[in-house]
Amino acid sequence: MDIGAQEHVAFKGTVGILGAGRVGTAIARLAVAAGYRVKVATSKPAADNELIIEIVTPGAVAVDAAEAAASDLVVVAIPLHKYKSLNADALGGRVVIDAMNYWAATDGDIADFENTHLSSSEVVSAYLADSRVVKSFNHIGYHEMEPDAADPETPDRRALAVAGDDENAKSLVAGFIDTLGFDSVDSGDLAAGKSFEPGTNIFNGRFNAAELAHALQHSLATA
């Protein structure tokens, strides 16, 4: 597929956020502001999270992980070393956005991600074998999400890369990204997600759609 601005379809429905850290709650706030029904879950029972979710992500609802996993679109924003704590059966058939990153300096060396040529999202996708995994939101800082979100016609609107093996799932995610305030650029399949993992120029930069498409083309050409 040619890299370029992502065509997308309108998405209306519930958004489940697995993970109530800084990334998950930033995405949750943007989704609430965009008018989505947002359900946030952690490994704890919903009752344990109600107060903090009410304070940190007003408008979102604290739920158990199984209920969040049953949403129309699910964002996984937990520390990557905990990815096998996800309920693969509950996420079967769901469009899952992998917003996680492999940080060896923080998490230590994890064999699943060290001893492989695969991108981190390919490893996650192999575990979530029945899910439609799409990689995005991993190369923008949580503290940049709300300040950088902008209306569609804003000049030099920030863009996020989207990688996945399912074209319909990528289109759905692209529509979600647009409503949250960002352009999206299709980078290709999940393997191409390596182009915007930690340590890459894309991971460390801020790009509009044209700039991001060019950076992805260059990265894939030199891989």
| 51: enclosing H helix or E strand | helix 46-56
Render pLDDT for 123-170 as a digit per residue (tens, 0 to 9).
999 999 999 999 999 999 999 999 999 999 999 999 999 999 999 999
Q: What is the mean pLDDT of residues 120-125?
A: 98
* Residue predicted with more confidence, 222 or 23: 23
State the number of CA atoms in the 13 A half-sphere of 57 facing the CB: 29
Instruction: From 24, 4, 45, select the one nearest 214 (Cα to Cα).
Output: 4
Total number of domains constituting the chain: 1
- Give the separation between CA 152 and CA 39, rounded to whole angstroms: 25
pLDDT, residue 11, reads 57
Task: Answer yes or no: is pLDDT of 186 > 70.
Answer: yes
CA atoms in the 13 A half-sphere facing the CB of 171: 7
pLDDT for 107 beyond 80: no
Average pLDDT, whole number, for the chain?
A: 93
Q: What is the pLDDT of residues 187-215, one digit of tens each?
A: 999 999 999 999 999 998 999 999 999 99
Angle at which helix 167-180 crosses helix 22-33, to 10 degrees, equals 80
Model's pTM, two decimal places?
0.93
Residues 6+ apart with CB under 8 A from 143: 22, 26
CATH of the domain at 203: 3.40.50.720
The whole-number average pLDDT for the span 23-52 is 97
> Which structural domain range is residue 85 located in?
4-221
Helix (H, G, I), strand (E, B) or coil at 105: helix
> DSSP letters along 30-82, please?
HHHHTT-EEEEE-SS-HHHHHHHHHHHSBTBEE--HHHHHTSSEEEE-S-GGG
Report the pLDDT value the prediction gives residue 2, as an integer from 0 to 100. Answer: 46
Q: How far apart are CA 148 and CA 61, in angstroms?
A: 25
Tell me, what's the pLDDT at 196?
Answer: 97
- Relative to beta strand 183-188, strand 4-5 is antiparallel
pLDDT at 223: 63
Looking at per-residue confidence, does 107 or 178 come out higher? 178
The answer on pLDDT for 38 being more than 90 is yes
CA distance 27 to 142: 8
What's the pLDDT tens digit per position in 84-93?
Answer: 999 999 999 9
